[in-house]
Amino acid sequence: MFLKRYVSDLLHLAFPELCCICRKEEIIGSDGLCDSCIKDLPWTLHNLIKENELVDRLRFQVDLEMGGALFYYHNEGPVKTLLHQLKYKRNRELGLSLGRLLGSRFSSSPHFEKPDLLVPVPIHKKRLRERGYNQSLLLCQGFIESCDIPIETNAILKRTYQKSQTKNSREQRLKHLESSFRLNPRCDLSRKHILIIDDVLTTGSTVKAIYESLKDVNALKLSVLTVALSKS
Ligand SMILES: [Zn+2]
């Protein structure tokens, strides 16, 4: 016992574990968070509530098997900082940590039905070049550390650029591209349960667009988990 503690103390000195939010060296739990961050974060507890606000927001538009978010997103506060770091500050490690958190919280949920595939939300090539990674894929990669599920990156594709939109502003064009998807004809998702993992759900337009692209798939089950749910 004493030796085990000694070895773990030595490892901690050599490779101090930092809280994945405040990046301070504190007492880190299995979630990779320190006690004060755990206390301060606006947890939704959706892992314990099957009929939660995320499911509600998509009701009548998307036929969901399971849905939920880890945190509420407000215009200020730690969750905004986290998502900003993930999207614009090239913080890959944070993406993996948040994915691990989603995995540890939801794969142990009483409502969790293990999906057949994880499908990251594809991002446009232009965004991928700017960001250096797809944050949704990082979340999936962190997720599978606690729940062994294959990741299918090619199931859903971004629609190609449409010339008729050239009159729109660059931002409008990117927005349009971000919300249009198509099913990869080479990918057979029939009778599969797929789980989409994304960073934030606001109006749900991305999930709705993905759902639209999958509506001809026979007996498909769709679940959605996000890091954050913004107040609508
Ligand atoms: Zn912390």
The total number of structural domains in the chain stands at 2
CA angle 5, 11, 14 (to 5 degrees): 145
Q: Residue 32, by phi and psi: left (phi above 0), alpha (psi -120 to 50) or beta?
A: left
Express each pLDDT in 15-52 by its tens digit: 567 787 777 867 777 667 788 888 889 999 999 999 99
Residues 171 and 135 placed together within one structural domain of the fold? yes
Residues 10 and 68 placed together within one structural domain of the fold? no
Q: Could you give the CA distance from residue 76 to residue 194 in angstroms, rounded to a whole number?
A: 32
The alpha carbon of 78 and the centre of ligand 1 are apart by a number of angstroms equal to: 10
Instruction: State the CATH number of the domain containing residue 220.
Output: 3.40.50
The alpha carbon of 19 and the centre of ligand 1 are apart by a number of angstroms equal to: 5
Domain carrying residue 71: 42-230
The alpha carbon of 93 and the centre of ligand 1 are apart by a number of angstroms equal to: 15
pTM of the model: 0.83
Residues 14 and 25 placed together within one structural domain of the fold? yes
Torsion angle (degrees, nearest 10) of CA 102, 76, 127, 99: -10
pLDDT at 112 over 80: yes
The alpha carbon of 6 and the centre of ligand 1 are apart by a number of angstroms equal to: 24
Residues 71 and 163 placed together within one structural domain of the fold? yes
The alpha carbon of 32 and the centre of ligand 1 are apart by a number of angstroms equal to: 9
* Encoded tokens for 152: 């299918």
